[in-house]
Structure 1
Amino acid sequence: MSTLDLHADPAEITAALVDIASVSGAEAEIADAVETALRAQAPHLEVVRNGAAVLARTRLGRPSRVVLAGHLDTVPVNENLPLHRTGSGAGEVLHGLGTVDMKGGDAVFLHLAAAVTEPRHDLTFVFYDCEEVEAARNGLGRIERELPDWLRGDLAVVGEPSNAVIEAGCQGTLRAELRRAGTRAHTARAWMGENAIHGLAEPLRRLAEYRPRVVDIDGLTYREGLQAVRVAGGVAGNVVPDEAVLTVNHRFAPDRSPEQAERHVREVLDGFELSVVDVSGGALPGLHAPVVAELVAAAGGHAAAKLGWTDVARFAALGMPAVNLGPGDPTLAHTRQEHVAAAEIRTVADVLRAFVEVRR
């Protein structure tokens, strides 16, 4: 089993984590390494194992609690393991699967877990499984069902890549299918049929002309979107199709509930058969909460809106503000070219350490 040194440079912890393959559903080895390291090197923490997730926390009776959460799994390997490095010193870059999404964030949290023994806030660390697959398998859902008190706190920090900038809240996302029926006919006698694909012209026109909202919440700008993302239909090269399906994705600002977002999409596409196949609510930024304001101050006073959906929404649904803060460029996630600057990993560690440590 791989050995992790939690007192090492967070960039070195990242390198060690990356070299433990942990594709979704196969996180046992990395969970074993994390659990063993926490039990041996962070005796001040209560540690429990839940499936392929590892949880640890302080119980110091502080007036507030901060939850730091990161997933251990990655997308499938894409010729980007083992880890390799370029540059040196301040210019060192780590390349490999998970460097961005999100073993750099995990490494920062593991470093804090061992190094910070007298935090200003009680701390909970959640290293969980199956984030990169369907939501029903997400380890946070299982933990919420089986160990709900472990997810309670006054602020959640999710270590998803954010270019080392606090990204507060997140957008909601809704996916719907619009179906058009037609009548089959031979294309040599097309007038005898009704082309279902042609029937998508009007909803596609509405989507092309759609003007999304730009919403300001707590001084942060959230940009919505409503896009056609897939068109399916057709029987054969000489048949007028009798069915076509248009898949639509709506990214909505967190001031809208999933129900309000669905109503909006139905209004835009009024007159067409529409079924919602997936929806997840967003998360309000909550920047006015005192503990969030403290974190923003530790990060230099700047926060941005999260344009996308992350597990901060799960914590927001539990009634707590949540932010994303992690090293790495999110546009590199899930690509063969994943890489992260070692200096950025250290920056996130310094920001969070300044936030959680007792001020002397």
Structure 2
Amino acid sequence: MTTTVPTLDLTADPVELTAALVDVPSVSGDEAMLADALEHALRTQAPHLEVVRSGAAVLARTHLGRARRVLLAGHTDTVPIADNVPSRREGDLLYGCGTSDMKSGDAVFAHLAATLTEPRHDLTLVFYDCEEIEATRNGLGRIERELPDWLRADLAILGEPTGGAVEAGCQGTLRVEIRTQGRRAHSARSWLGDNAVHHAADVLARLNAYTARDVDIDGCVYREGLQAVRIAGGVAGNVVPDECVVTVNFRFAPDRDAEAAQAHVREVFDGYDLTVTDLSPGALPGLAAPAAREFLAATGTTAQAKYGWTDVSRFAALGIPAINYGPGDPNLAHTREEHVDTRAITGCTDVLWRFLA
């Protein structure tokens, strides 16, 4: 059976384009239909762009010979729909899955790609898949392996939801499991056992006494955090447990690399065996780069630290300054009531137009 590709008008108001993108479901791993629609729209409405396809990702770029290249990147996938598609409008608010994270940012970028035919910087557009799930499936990783030339730029702007603020760099994230051991016994004769859950009290005490750093980098203050995010232990309601696992998450400032972050957590929990289950380095702000300074000037604001991990880290690892800038509200991402203020969409479009045109 032939599936009709949805029609997108990239020259339309970015608010209307956001609604159109939301109305094409694209839960992680199922972005092909939206990718088809974006690819068709870019090929037919933006003849000044070179367009290629990579799996469920769509890439486009100019070749104008400008001194600098700016890359605009946005993921097209969403978390599972929660009865919030199709989109709906209430006054200045547009509701729907992905409105905030991050189809409003995608709409701004796609609109600029089609309508800005003579930008003062060369442009690369990357609409990629599978950002909301495990990192091994992230479309940017595939593009980096298969089409590395497409990720070269003097500045990368990710349309992640920031409420129209400029969020520079990002925190790194590290998860470890800390195991405490004991000896099983019948709980009626508990003195014959050794309770592993009770031994976890020392781990929690160290966390409770921990003092996190605030780190100022290029005027952006990154707050670190070390938190227990899960405790698992126990065999049955009448058994003294012989093992307990405390999962700890460390959100670290980007002045620490991955090795330094691990070394710090091992120091905090000296005497315990740690198993690293997840590790993604952070990204430095990169605000000294000329293109980044130009963009900040166009916004008329100052940058602030990004609390959380985003794909700016991937660009930082490639030596490309990268920032987060999008109209969505990060606090609304992944919620049933997810929505975006349409005035923020218009404002972000105006700022990027000033910067690029």
The TM-score range, normalised by the shorter chain, is over 0.9
How far residue 81 of structure 1 moved from its aligned partner, in angstroms, is: 1.2
Q: Distance in 2 between matches of 1:29 and 1:337?
A: 24
Aligned with 2:64 (options 41, 60, 83): 60
Shift of 1:326: 0.3
Give the aligned partner of residue 133 of structure 2. Answer: 133
Spell out structure 1 runs of 4+ moving beyond 3 A.
none
Q: TM-score, normalised by structure 1?
A: 0.97
1:11 maps to 15
Residue type at the aligned position of 2:315: F
Show the counterpart of 1:214. Answer: 214
Distance (whole Å) between structure 2 residues aligned to residue 273 and residue 203 of structure 1: 12
Correspondence for 1:245: 245
Partner of 2:316 in structure 1?
A: 316
Q: TM-score, normalised on structure 2? A: 0.98
Unaligned runs of 5+ in 1: none
In structure 2, what is the equivalent of residue 110 of structure 1? 110
1:299 paired with 2:299, answer yes
Matches within 5 A, 1:136-151: 136-151=136-151
Q: Which runs of 5+ in 2 are unaligned?
A: none
What is residue 35 of structure 2 aligned with on the other side? 31
Residue identity in the other structure for 2:299: A
CA shift for structure 1 position 118: 0.6
Q: How does 1:200-349 map to 2 (within 5 A)?
A: 200-349=200-349
> Match for residue 171 of structure 1?
171
The CA deviation at 1:82 is 1.1
Report Cα offsets for 1:229-287 as digits up to 9, x if no partner: 00001000000001110000000000100100000000001111111111000000011
Matches within 5 A, 1:157-196: 157-196=157-196
Secondary structure of the residue aligned to 2:131 is coil
Distance 2:318 2:301 in 1: 26
Distance 1:221 1:193 in 2: 48
Please provide the CA RMSD for this pair.
Answer: 0.6
SS of the counterpart of 2:196? coil
Per-residue CA deviations over 1:15-36 (Å, capped at 9, x if unaligned) read 0000000000000100000000
Q: Secondary structure at the match of 1:197?
A: helix
What per-residue deviation string (whole Å, max 9, x for no partner) do you get for residues 124-174 of structure 1? 000000000000000000000000000011110000000011100000000
Tell me the distance in 2 between the aligned counterparts of 1:329 and 1:13. Answer: 18
Output one character per residue of 1:70-113: Cα deviation in whole Å (capped at 9) or x when no partner. Answer: 000000011111111101xxxx1100100000000000000000
Structure 1 distance, partners of 2:54, 2:64, is: 23
Task: Give CA deviations for 1:37-92 in whole Å, capped at 9, x if unaligned.
Answer: 000110000000010000000011111111100000000011111111101xxxx1
Q: Deviation at 1:201?
A: 0.4
Shift of 1:307: 0.7
Per-residue CA distance 1:185-244 (angstroms, 9 max, x = gap):
000110100101001000100101111000000011100000000000100000000111
Identity percentage of aligned residues: 68
- Equivalent residue letter for 2:308: G
- Shift, 1:301, TM fit: 3.1
Q: Does 1:84 align with 2:84?
A: no
AA matched with 1:354:
R
* Paired AA for residue 205 in structure 1: A
